[in-house]
Structure 1
Amino acid sequence: MEELRGRHGTWRLGPEELRMSFSGGRRVPALLKALGSCTVPLAAVADVDFDRGDRKQGWRMRLRLVEGADPYTGLGAFESEDLTPLLLTGAHDKELIAEYFADQISASARMERETAQRPDPAAVCRGLVARLPFQARTGEGRAVFDGSRVRLSWDGFFASTAKQTEEQREYPLPEIERAAWQPPVDLSEGWLRIVLRGVTIPGATDISHDFFTLATHGVKGNEEALLMAATVNAHLAGAVVGEEDGAGPGPGSGPEAIEAAGGDDAETVFAKIRELGRLREEGLVTDEEFTDKKAELLARI
């Protein structure tokens, strides 16, 4: 097994997969330390970008995966090429060794794509995110994901009075459409946001009253929040693929499940009504909007 050591970890090239392990040093990105290690099937590697760089910056190697296999893309409006386990960098004096290793990955991946069975993109995603249960902590509180639900708790120093009073909320995985992430920019707060199916947060909502969001302030918890978003989305993708493969839809597994809701989906419908009730109490939904939507949901049971 060939291997290449970079600034923040080591990549090991096997006959069918690329294994990545990350060190725990002070300068290692928090995302990589929280992740620890991960594995990518070579058949899922579409391309390898390699940049020799210069004496100051050194070389950069970045894997590009087949469509739907990278859980760190599409998380929100902001996307960082540096915050991903699919990037390895190193000192300039090792550029020839690193370039040879990149060529080896490309050749091995090309052979695997031609001869091996196409990997399940959702399974590849789950191999690139945190092991469960996973917790991300920020200055406002913490998010915990156990594979079945996400719990947001606001017990940190920066939590608003409203969120401290609320203490926590839980969101079952079937009710979640996706997780979104935004890093802090200048003096603004970053956040991890749980986006529920059929629930829209008004754009004017202050983050201190947004009970779908865990805020980040500066670097504390920012990368762990990114990893949490990627982890939730990877498990959501697995649930969707399971339906397409004939496993059958689970309760509340998508908007279409509510449209055709039967007895098995009643719990999901009632959960949405409860959530609408919370939004009405917080002034984010009018009484008329609540009544109309409640009647619409009840009619679908």
Structure 2
Amino acid sequence: MSRMGDVLAGFHAAWEFESDSVLIRYERGLRTPKLFSVLGERRIPLAAIAGVTLEPGRRGTVVLRIEPRAGADPLTEAAAGQLQEASDPYRLVLPAERETLAEYYRDELRARMTESGPAAERFLVAAPAVPLSFKAYDAKASFDGRTVHFRWSWTGASSAKWKAGDQSFPVSGLNGVEWRSPEVFEGHLRLFRGEEAPMQADQDPGAVVFGLGYGSVHESLPFAAAVLAAVRSRGAPAVVPAAAVPRQDGRRRDPADVADRIRHLGELHRAGLVTDEEFSVKKAELLAEL
């Protein structure tokens, strides 16, 4: 930038503008999105930026946002568009009276962006640091940078997972990662090991299931991003989007597993995360699998 080291402070974050990058420092506090607190700070090279926008926000604010290049950031690649607006790490919310200053930095960023193809050939933004771990509904997941470990929970894991035993997956044997947000029903993290057709996440020894109070975004998404970055660094395929994963709804399932899923569905319904209609439809689908 023409004024290197300038800082633009907004709600929950401050952007420091350097000649070749933007350093985003996230606040820590009760009102700050937990994902921001976990990320701490991130350096975004100008080569990782596809665009910059400035738009009116809510309640007397404006929003300055960086649009990352496809394939440049393991976090956004793993998220696959599932992050809620408030948890978008590329949004800087500012008081409306700072709009003129925000316009200046928007124009400066646009002027310095490098012309490149739509997708990056490698990750340009650093992945979350390892080791990482989180507690899912049916397991504890951990990653040390080389191997992903799933240790099943005796209260949540399906009989199929218990029969398979605790799992360890070296990065060298993985070719993809799928993260389905815990903020939707049937959220999970799945590891792809080959060309096999994926089964239900609660039956797949290569997947852990999220749930009410388990696998929260600020814990599971950085985990998925770190695994994805490690997989990509050895030339494996990119993350498989959740919407592209086929389902095998024709298989019959263990009655005990169906009962567990209905109980979990009921917890989400009582918490207001699933509507009455969604609860009835999904319960019927589960019962049909018996």
TM-score by length of 1: 0.65
Q: Give the equivalent residue in structure 2 for 1:227.
A: 222
Match for residue 11 of structure 2? 7
Contact 2:137-2:208 within 8 A present in 1 as well: no
Structure 1 pair 170–86 and aligned structure 2 pair: CA distance change class (3 A): same
Distance, in Å, in 2 between the alignment partners of 1:160 and 1:33 is 33
Equivalent residues in 2 for 1:138-149, closer than 5 Å: 138-149=136-147
Q: Distance in 1 between matches of 2:135 and 2:76?
A: 22
Q: For residue 196 of structure 2, what is the aligned residue in structure 1?
A: 199
Greater fraction helix: 1
- 1:209 counterpart residue number: 203
User: What is the distance in 2 between the residues matched to 1:104 and 1:124?
Assistant: 20
**Any unmatched runs of 5+ in structure 1?**
241-252, 255-281, 284-301
| Distance in 1 separating the partners of 2:72 and 2:156 | 35
User: Does the 8 Å CA contact 1:122/1:234 hold for their aligned counterparts?
Assistant: no
Give the distance between the partners of 1:168 and 1:178, measured in 2 at CA.
Answer: 20
Percentage of matched positions with identical amino acids: 26
Task: Give the secondary structure class of the aligned counterpart of 1:234.
Answer: helix
Partner SS state of residue 144, structure 1: strand
Aligned mates of 1:197, 1:162 — CA distance in 2: 19
Contact between 1:54 and 1:92, CA under 8 Å: does it hold in 2? no
Q: Output the CA distance in 2 between the equivalents of 1:89 and 1:168.
A: 44
Answering whether residue 124 of structure 2 is matched by residue 89 of structure 1, we say: no
Q: Deviations over 1:83-117 (max 9, x none)?
A: 4422222333433333322222222x33xx26x9x
> TM-score by structure 2 length?
0.68
- Range 85-94 or range 192-201, more displaced: 85-94
Look up the SS of the partner of 2:106 in the other structure.
helix
Q: Is the 8 A contact 2:62 2:95 kept in 1?
A: yes
- What do you get for the CA RMSD once the two structures are aligned? 3.1
Q: Partner of 2:176 in structure 1?
A: 178
1:217 is displaced (CA, Å) by 1.6
Q: What 5-or-longer segments of structure 2 have no aligned partner?
A: 238-252, 255-290
Match of 2:129 among 103, 128, 131: 131
Letter aligned with residue 145 of structure 1:
F
Aligned residues: 231
